[in-house]
Amino acid sequence: MGKKLCVFFVLSCSLCFLQAQSLIDEAKAKYLLQQANEKLSQSLFEEAVVLFQQADSLSSAVFTASDYTNMAGTYFQLKQHKDALNICKKAISLDSLNQNAYFNLGLVYSAMDSIYHAMAAYEKVIRIDSTHTQACYNLAICYKQLRNYQSAIFYYKKITEIDPSDTKAYVNMGIAYGEIGNTDMLYECFQKAANMGDKEAQEFLTKTGRTW
């Protein structure tokens, strides 16, 4: 009877020790995570990624989706694309509606020349936030790379609907129209941009003898 009580007592103490150690590790991880995000804000990417790694190895439980998104961004800045990809997926597993994680995922896939995966990620961003103009821009660029100029035009139009003052969207839309031989729309887009003060559009129209 006495032996059983002794064994139970030892197990209880071991459990308390493990819980205490876990709390200590979490506190250390939170501190390292804070330091990592500060280094990231200072663009000290190599220092930041080491701190992120140390925090993650101590206690991944303290990481939020935003923390993993920042960690992925750090890997991306260091051109460690496979690591960035894995960490983006961790962020998404914690928050399936994290638009920043999906956007970063798109950037990583683009850097890895996986254009269709990149497009799927940007489309997910737009489904979460229909006003995300940068995701629209990146999708338009992907479509231009695929020579699907009509789809590129669709997203440039979407940008101008969200922000009518975005002259670069008009310029890029005009270029896409030019690629499909629609010079009337090319000049119309450039004229809109020129009237809003876009220097590139003004110079182009001046060189081609067009008024604006």
Whether residue 5 is predicted with pLDDT greater than 50 in this model: the reply is no
CATH 1.10.10.10 fits 18-121, yes or no: no
Whether residue 2 is predicted with pLDDT greater than 50 in this model: the reply is no
Whether residue 197 is predicted with pLDDT greater than 70 in this model: the reply is yes
Tokens of 193: 């941009």
Whether residue 3 is predicted with pLDDT greater than 60 in this model: the reply is no
Domain residue ranges in the chain = 18-121, 130-212
Whether residue 124 is predicted with pLDDT greater than 80 in this model: the reply is yes
Whether residue 6 is predicted with pLDDT greater than 60 in this model: the reply is no
pLDDT at 1: 45
> Rounded to whole angstroms, how far apart are CA atoms 125 and 13?
49
Q: What is the mean pLDDT of residues 99-115?
A: 97
> Rounded to whole angstroms, how far apart are CA atoms 109 and 49?
20
Tokens of 39: 């280094």
pLDDT at 27: 93
> Rounded to whole angstroms, how far apart are CA atoms 204 and 194?
9
Burial (CB < 10 A; 0-12, 13-18, 19+), residue 36, is: buried
Band of residue 22 on the pLDDT scale cut at 50, 70, 90:
confident
Band of residue 212 on the pLDDT scale cut at 50, 70, 90:
confident
pLDDT, tens digit (0-9, with 9 covering 90-100), for 83-96? 999 999 999 999 99
pTM of the model: 0.84
Q: What is the mean pLDDT of residues 189-201?
A: 97
Q: What is the mean pLDDT of residues 10-27?
A: 66
pLDDT at 184: 96
Structurally, at CATH architecture level, domain 130-212 sits in Alpha Horseshoe (1.25)
pLDDT at 211: 81
pLDDT, tens digit (0-9, with 9 covering 90-100), for 127-142? 999 999 999 999 999 9
